[in-house]
Amino acid sequence: MMEIKENILLSLFTSIKIGGKARYFCEPGNIDELREALAFARTKKLPIFILGGGTNIIIKDSGFAGLVIKLSGSFRNIERKENMLSAGGGALLSGLINTSISFGLSGLTNLSGIPGTVGGAIVGNAGAFSSQISDCLIVVNAITKDGEEQVIKEPKFLYRDSNLRDKIILCGDFSLKPEAIWRMEEQRKQVLEKRSATQPVGKKTAGCIFKNPVGVSAGELIEKAGLAGFRVGEAIVSEKHKNFIENMGNARGVDVFSLIKIIKEKVHTLYNINLSEEVIIV
Ligand SMILES: Cc1cc2nc3c(=O)[nH]c(=O)nc-3n(C[C@H](O)[C@H](O)[C@H](O)COP(=O)(O)OP(=O)(O)OC[C@H]3O[C@@H](n4cnc5c(N)ncnc54)[C@H](O)[C@@H]3O)c2cc1C
């Protein structure tokens, strides 16, 4: 029997270090344990939240009054099948990229430095430097919250979104192209250097807060609105990347939500543009 824990503090599982407790929390290591977790939630009529690396979410201070599921064990496996890599939904994206480089299989290197899991990257179509994870993703194995397993051959992807949000990603197959390992290592180095020059790497953040509106960068709008360094409690608009909010120490969810509201109102008043959140509010 898999252990289902109670009252687990979620701030520990997020990169911005914010969030109250989960009523229930479990880490299924295989499909049978995941089915057990889904049945538990069904019996108790609990809402479910799938937690990846917690790098693109802000959890409310009141926590989550349901079951949080974090895929572990065999859901973290990465396997090679010729020029294809198959990665579990709970595997780290960085692990997938490192594996692809060690095999000289190219297609994912531009995503180097994006934290979080393969499952989180797939549902949110994570991307950087004109590449996104959907570019080389060919098949997704998923399960619905009702327990129906699905093989999705043509998932639909949008900018930082997909039609997979209501499913649990078990595994993704990536079709990659042979490339010289040294060239990929060089590419990864350049990507990581660009990132640390432009993003508050190493700080407590949740990645980009807003999606870029068509044709304009959300960060630029926030900067032009004079909000760089603007602060509510211990939540502050990053000076390095204006579309990031940093937790300076003990920020609460309410501080971040107030800051988000202020930014949206000011940008709307000045530019008549409605910013919409990229970050998921739980
Ligand atoms: C410093 C920093 C830099 C970042 N840079 C980038 C960037 O360049 N580009 C970019 O796109 N993003 C970036 N992000 C945001 C974030 O890393 C990505 O969105 C990442 O893909 C989220 O994955 P995660 O596993 O952490 O998901 P989480 O934050 O845990 O969850 C995000 C959403 O995915 C869902 N989810 C997670 N796993 C699964 C699963 N197995 N099945 C179904 N749903 C699931 C969750 O329920 C939630 O709705 C950055 C974040 C940080 C902190």
What H or E segment, with its residue span, contains residue 245? strand 245-247
Is 177 in the same domain as 239?
no
Question: Domain for residue 114, yes or no?
Answer: yes
Over its length of 282 residues, how does the chain's per-residue pLDDT go in tens digits? 799 999 999 999 999 999 999 999 999 999 999 999 999 999 999 999 999 999 999 999 999 999 999 999 999 999 999 999 999 999 999 999 999 999 999 999 999 999 999 999 999 999 999 999 999 999 999 999 999 999 999 899 999 999 999 999 999 999 999 999 999 999 999 999 999 999 998 999 999 999 999 999 999 999 999 999 999 999 999 999 999 999 999 999 999 999 999 999 999 999 999 999 999 999
Is 10 in the same domain as 63?
yes
Is 277 in the same domain as 165?
no
How far lies 17's CA from each of 14, 59, 228, 248, in Å? 5, 9, 21, 10
Pocket of ligand 1 contains residue 219 by CB under 6 Å: no
Is 129 in the same domain as 190?
yes
Pocket of ligand 1 contains residue 207 by CB under 6 Å: yes
What H or E segment, with its residue span, contains residue 190? helix 181-198
Distance 270 CA to ligand 1 centre (A): 30
CB 64, CB 10: distance < 8 Å: yes
Closest CA to 244 of 274, 214, 265, 217: 217
Whose alpha carbon is nearest atom 40 of ligand 1? Answer: 119
Predicted TM-score of the model (pTM): 0.97
Q: Residue 206 corresponds to which tokens in the numbers above?
A: 């949740």
Planar angle of CA 49, 199, 111, nearest 5 degrees:
65
Closest CA to 126 of 142, 145, 111, 141: 111
CB 52, CB 116: distance < 8 Å: yes
Q: Which residues have CB under 8 Å from 67's CB, separation 6+?
A: 4, 22, 23, 24, 25, 26, 37, 40, 41, 44, 46, 47, 48, 49
Range of the domain at 246: 218-281
How far lies 68's CA from each of 32, 77, 87, in Å? 17, 21, 21
Is 88 in the same domain as 165?
yes
CB 11, CB 18: distance < 8 Å: yes
Closest CA to 128 of 47, 43, 64, 196: 196
Displacement of CA 199 from its chain's centroid (Å): 16
CATH number at residue 224: 3.90.78.10
CATH number at residue 147: 3.30.465.10
Pocket of ligand 1 contains residue 134 by CB under 6 Å: no
CATH number at residue 24: 3.30.43.10
Distance 49 CA to ligand 1 centre (A): 13
Pocket of ligand 1 contains residue 53 by CB under 6 Å: yes
The SS3 assignment for 231 reads strand
Measured from the Cα of 126, ligand 1's closest atom is: 11
Closest CA to 104 of 183, 211, 204: 183
Is 116 in the same domain as 49?
no
Number of domains composing the chain: 3
Q: Give the residues across from 78 on adjacent strands.
A: 87
Is 50 in the same domain as 98?
no
Measured from the Cα of 127, ligand 1's closest atom is: 11
Closest CA to 279 of 122, 58, 48: 58
Question: Domain for residue 207, yes or no?
Answer: no
Substitution candidate for ligand 1 out of 26, 74, 114 with most atoms within 8 A of CB: 114
Whose alpha carbon is nearest atom 4 of ligand 1? Answer: 207
